[in-house]
Structures are given as structure tokens and as C-alpha cells.
Structure 1
């Protein structure tokens, strides 16, 4: 596993066209790359491959989602969208 990121972790893009967008790590390729999804434009079927240098941890890991991804259980795009939406709403409230 990558030392910097974990499955189910919320991350924010800090470089590229999608700067400022939140994603969830759905797969770890190697030490330099992870695959992220937002459930909308980047769905679980075709996640976005991002360099870890271009991502910033948001300080939140969804434990239930992490277990589902680790065990290969079916995760829906709607679940990903809801988790991100709730996180962003909570961030704006603080």
C-alpha cells in the first residue's frame, strides 16, 4: 500500500484542470499513482489516474467505504457522490 494515501480517503486536487475538486481514492497503483473517483464525471468504472504529488489529503477516511473497497464489495457511484457532497457541506459549515 502507498504510504501517503489509503483506500477510501478523501483527497483534493492541487494541480491540473481539476484543481480544487474533491475525490475519493478507489485504487492504489504504486508509490507515485492512485486512481480517484468522484461518482459523477470520474465514475468507478473509469477512475482518474492521478500523480500523488498533485493530490492533498483532506484529513478524512471513510472507514466503511475503505472496507468495501478492500474486500472487493460493490460500491455505487451514488455512494461516492453522497460521501463527497456531505464532506464538502460539512467543510463549508466550519
Structure 2
């Protein structure tokens, strides 16, 4: 959880998301706080995601406390992570 991923396929292809829940070994639940809000997250097959080395520690802190992070926290965290220039370090999981 908290890992930053990019969607490879679909309408949301190329967009960054944060994993907020692992469903099983094939599926995760993602959101970005903007088009995919925490109230309506997307279940996505991991084959359709590009995993990165980037992690949103703010989101992890909320999830570890048993709280649901607000959309503005997720959105701000993603923006800050991507602005740091670490998006070049993409890796496929």
C-alpha cells in the first residue's frame, strides 16, 4: 500500500495513482484523489499497472492508523512525489 503506480491501459492510461488496498495477488485498489476519489476507487489488475520505486508515506501513515486519507492529501502527495523528479525511476513489478 502507498506505492505509486501508473496505469498502462484504459481511459486512465499514463496517469499516476496510489495503491490504497491490496485485494489479492492479482488485484489492487487505486485512487488519485482527483478523477478517482477515495470514495470511488478503482480495482485494477496488476498486469495493467506500471509499478515505480516511489511511495507515498503520507498515505501509508493514514492507512496504518486505520484512517482513510482525504482526497486532497492523496492528490497533494502524488503531486509532490512526481515533482521531485523521481518519476524517471519506473520499474515493472
TM over 0.5: yes
Alignment correspondent of 1:4: none
- The two structures have a TM-score, normalised by structure 2, of 0.83
Alignment correspondent of 1:51: 45
Q: Which runs of 4+ in 1 moved over 6 A?
A: none
Q: CA RMSD in A?
A: 1.9
- The two structures have a TM-score, normalised by structure 1, of 0.82
1:84 aligns with 2:90: no
Count of residues in correspondence between the two structures: 88
- Which residues of 2 match residues 1-94 of structure 1 at below 5 A? 7-91=1-85
Query: Which runs of 5 or more residues in structure 2 are unaligned?
Result: 89-93
